Amino acid sequence: MALACPALEYLKLGGAFPILTQGVKYPKIHWPTLHTLELTMNHNPTTEKAAASDATYLSDYFSLFSIPIVHTFTFESRWPVAWEGFCSAAPVLRSTFASIHTLRFSMMGEGPFPDAHPELFDAFPELRYFTITAHDDRTFRSCLHPWISHLVDGTSASWPKLVLLTLRTTTT
């Protein structure tokens, strides 16, 4: 698919998380023109098997991409296990999505969601627009508290270019 769409600019994947076999070297998916990527990871038998079999699943998945100019990234899941994997993928996110300036998280499940790793926030140094959509205030705290704590004590980078922080609570 990637080879058939070399000029692709916008990609929205819902549930497109294949099971990756450990030890297999997968080719990079190059999209040099992609500027927007939206991923939705739902709790279904395929993603459950993938995430349960390998704690580094999302790191491995994100490392498949080569998208140097992507500037808008959306990650949505109602599944706390997906968020744990997403947060632990911070080093890969930093190298794969270094030019991100718009980041959107949607955590609409009723959790409990794991606390975000401070490294996750350091992974997006060019961030200008950050939106979190969550089911409740507890989810906001699990996402923002580690970042605020590490920012205050000086162990985490700030977002000097951030101009808009949007927090949305939506009931399901």
Which tens digits make up the pLDDT trace of 111-165? 667 777 777 777 888 889 999 888 777 777 777 777 777 677 766 666 788 899 8
Has residue 58 got a pLDDT over 70?
yes
Percent of the chain whose predicted confidence (pLDDT) is above 70: 84
Q: Indicate the pLDDT class of residue 38, thresholds 50, 70 and 90.
A: very high
Mean pLDDT of 58-63: 86
Find tokens 């961030």 and name the residue. 127
Q: pTM of the entire structure?
A: 0.83
